[in-house]
Structure 1
């Protein structure tokens, strides 16, 4: 009974139409002088009309109940114009839900793959340290392995923070030259160990960014240059400025990058030929550097010639406010749009 009363609630238009039509019918009978009004005929017609209307409602109730029972079946038939659009809307919600689940599962898999790769990566310097305990070792080698561990830990930490970037950043004026020099100090032992010359030509440059995140980006790029520059090589770091942007240029004369690998070096997990031949790599350093740069309103480009040089350029556009660019990216991310 409760179900039938709920059904009647949604059949108000039919009830209203029924009562209005009856009122019009009675009004015509009583006001038209050419019609001889008889109560017995009226009561008979009225009762017959009610029976027909009740039969119609029962039929509608039965059809709706049947449709509800078979709503999950493919041959489900809508009983209203509104229902057709609700069905389309629900189907679209289902598709969006499936896409969201697939995105979440893909991110979980990517995170799992990265963590597995990271574990294998960090085991190498730990194993080297264990071997050093059993043999005579140079303090320089110990520092190198500890530095590697620190870099891997930092990379994992920043990767974990990537999705919550908007909760942990502060855009302000930064001295780019000071950030570069501070980053180079952390790599000074690597420069000495590989006897790599540093050609530093940077002017005092003020840019709008987050110093902590930008220093991580610089660290990834300089680490990459050191990794693929041979002993007695050279790394040149310089600044430049145009009407549209300020530039930080990091160039080395190392092994270079194959042209077929160049378009993919910023892809997540891409190691390329160099990553497979010269050293084990998670393929996350340059990906994180580019992702964080974009979130800060900057971007990185790379040009290279195999066995000749590799040049990374960080672009700091003058006509983009990094704060509002980051806010825009955060809003788009919260709505499920691509960053």
Structure 2
């Protein structure tokens, strides 16, 4: 134990001894200290140094006991201990990652399993009377959107491995998403003006459909009865901009900078309790992964415009050589 302690503090002990020797030399050579007792100074200095060393030793001996039993150098033992703790953290991280992957797989399996009863419900509701059928279809659509959002939320982390970039026409994707929301649109008597012509962009059809689904569902959700939603495409040079404009309640100025944050519902969402704060967040994540710029402009109580900007010569296109 004592040898380990001396090795640990050898630099400081050498420094104290050197200072002690220098003090003795000064007291011996300098005639001004001739009347000072050299023995007294040495005894006083050594006593103070001994007391300090003993205090440090008593304080640290419990900490050094474990290293002394193993008969190894203190510095090596500390380095080994740090490495062991680091490896333990790595192992814990790997275990957590494995558990997250298992939970993700289980969640994906659950979502896929839910599709079967939903398909059956879709067939059953056709046998209902008109009024009941409309109400059932509305609730079915809401359930479908929630499950679809959860499915894509689970897959968003692996979007780089789950996309296929190719030239795709915008109009069929938009029309398909509007058809999926037709029950909701009929209920609110909404008119949707689509002007996208034969515009083609480079993107992934499935993920682009998901982005449009989130944007359109928000536009429909916050539009008043009998309102109008406009979908237009503007092209300039190599840039294509798709805008979705509604005349709904709009977004408060304080909420606008935070609409893409995870789980942020905003003022309207808290008042109506109809928002989850995940739709625009997931749309933003997917758009960023596909090199699509998504922005929102809104005036409260007047309406909202969501803009998707596609660049024909983006990083993905250059990588693919298209």
Q: TM-score normalized by structure 1? A: 0.59
Aligned to 2:288: 294
Give 1:88-107 correspondences, 5 Å limit. 90=83, 97=90
The verdict on how the C-alpha distance between 1:230 and 1:170 changes in structure 2, with shifts beyond 3 A counting, is same
CA distance in 2, matches of 1:286, 1:295: 14
Aligned partner of 2:138 in structure 1 is 144
The alignment yields a C-alpha RMSD, in angstroms, of: 4.1
The alpha-carbon deviation at position 225 of structure 1 amounts to: 0.4
Distance 1:96 1:208 in 2: 42
Q: 1:268 aligns with which of 262, 269, 281?
A: 262
Seen in structure 2, the aligned counterparts of structure 1 residues 66 and 205 have a Cα distance that, compared at 3 Å, is: same
Q: Deviations over 1:273-320 (max 9, x none)?
A: 111122422211111111111111212100101001101011112231
Pairing partner for 1:253 from 237, 247, 250: 247
CA change 1:153–1:271 in 2 (3 A) is same
Give the SS at the match of 1:241.
Answer: strand
Counterpart of 2:173?
Answer: 179
Equivalent position to 1:78, from 75, 80, 85? 75
Which residue pairs with 1:308 in the alignment?
302
Identify which of 192, 196, 206 aligns with 1:212. 206
Which of 265, 278, 295 does residue 272 from structure 2 map onto? 278
| 1:41-60 matched pairs, under 5 angstroms | none
User: Where does residue 153 of structure 2 map in the other structure?
Assistant: 159
CA distance in structure 2 between the partners assigned to 1:173 and 1:321 by the alignment: 15
2:183 counterpart residue number = 189
User: Which residue in 2 is equivalent to 1:32?
Assistant: none
Any conservation in 2 of the 1:190–1:226 contact (CA below 8 Å)?
Answer: yes
Residues 140/308 of structure 1: CA separation in 2 closer, same or farther (3 Å cut): same
Q: How far apart are residue 322 of structure 1 and its match?
A: 2.8
Indicate if the aligned counterparts of 1:295 and 1:325 stay in contact, CA closer than 8 A. no
Aligned residues: 237
Q: In the aligned structure 2, how far is the partner of 1:262 from the partner of 1:186?
A: 28
How far the C-alpha of 1:145 sits from its partner, in A, is: 0.8
Quick one: structure 1 residues 68 and 254, their matched pair in 2 at CA, closer, same or farther if it must change by over 3 Å? farther
Question: Is the CA contact (8 Å cut-off) linking 1:296 and 1:325 kept in structure 2?
Answer: no
Uncovered stretches (5+) of structure 1, i.e. residues with no partner: 1-62, 119-134, 327-339
- Structure 1: how far apart are the matches of 2:80 and 2:181? 61
Relative distance call for 1:272 and 1:207 in structure 2 (3 A) is same
Question: TM-score scaled to structure 2, two decimals?
Answer: 0.62
Taking the aligned partners of 1:261 and 1:203, their CA distance within structure 2 comes to 34
Change (3 A) 1:244 1:223: same
CA pair 140-66 structure 1, distance change in 2 beyond 3 A: closer
CA change 1:260–1:69 in 2 (3 A) is farther
The structural deviation recorded for 1:143 is 1.1
